Structure 1
């Protein structure tokens, strides 16, 4: 289907198909998450030249080495994060704003952090929900000005969770992310308890990489 042939009705049909075939079949079971993903027009958050790919079961390139996660990855993380209506959320890696739009329907307030100015401009052009604030800065540093957060949602794969992000969690706060370990990407949820933090994987899945989270090189003697 060419770009000129894709209509609003076509996108609506593709969104329904995504929910039925990619979400409900892969343990995306939270009714609020399913409703949000069935409502937010994902096509507004991908480059126009790739809008026909908005609902495919794969990552969609956004330019500059960045990409939008496959719907299943986003849906699984949102489901396991158990986003509550009163949650204060920090979204790390806002990119073009798709996850921010979803979180705006699930949480109380969202700080959406992005370090790529071009992606951030696209996110703002797609529309800014009233409870979302887009901010620009290094992803690995988080956004301490609005901490603590009940949930930090890292929308991509990272090799390490910086202490700076853990420090911005409220006590008993959660962190959702995909962690790369020995070449395998695992989706998981972390939780802060006092000064402690533990991370528990729940599924293996390919996720797009985020810049700035590489493990420091280890010396070999």
Structure 2
């Protein structure tokens, strides 16, 4: 595989059509070698518009989804970012290219270890991968300028919203299949948040988050 050409094609054919047009974001996407974050058995799909199994019930979302998440956070390069659900480390690598520091939480120890190795091979040094239940965040490092969830949740826990700086943003894919919406939350004051629905997309569930009770009659 000509990875450089595959990366170019990914940006032009998948990323741009999803309204990811910020030149600095596109530069990061063009520079991060996604093949380093894909399991060996799926190397041929490294730049394909598809989910890729990571094991342990987790998957990599298509690259356009990670790209849109990063784009919609509108990072400037000075932020401290919390990522929930490290997975392969690819989204963390993208965020690292547009933030000062990234703290990334992964509930599965083996995936966390693999992600650390992937990031190291890619030469990325400003990501701190930790084994932790992401639903409670990282209060010891709060407040964060931005928080992004790498998978879907039924609802965003208040504990995560509380860890945003005033003016900070949290981006998550929220809802139940078949209707999930990427939603941007903004902390507008010490005890006030706003939310804005951005785009529809179904994504695999993050582990450790509470699901609503389903009543049976």
TM-score of the two chains, using structure 2 as the length reference: 0.93
Compute the displacement of 1:87 (Å).
0.7
Structure 2 unaligned residues grouped into runs of 5+: none
1:148 maps to 2:143: yes
2:97 to 94, 98, 105: 105
| CA RMSD of superposed structures (Å) | 1.6
Q: Secondary structure at the match of 1:126?
A: helix
Measure the CA separation in 2 of the matches of 1:105 and 1:15. Answer: 16
2:4 to 12, 17, 34: 12
Q: Which runs of 4+ in 1 moved over 3 A?
A: 218-221
Structure 1 unaligned residues grouped into runs of 5+: 1-5
Per-residue CA deviation, residues 174-203 of structure 1 (Å, 9 max, x unaligned), is 001111246312112111122122221111
Compute the displacement of 1:163 (Å).
1.0
Cα separation, partners in 2 of 1:127 and 1:75, compared to 1, 3 Å: closer
Per-residue CA deviation, residues 44-91 of structure 1 (Å, 9 max, x unaligned), is 111100011111111111111101111111111111110121111001
Measure the CA separation in 2 of the matches of 1:76 and 1:38. Answer: 14
TM-score of the two chains, using structure 1 as the length reference: 0.91
In structure 2, the partner of 1:3 is none
2:127 to 125, 132, 138: 132
Contact 1:59 1:208 in 2 (8 A): no
1:215 maps to 2:206: no
Matched length: 213
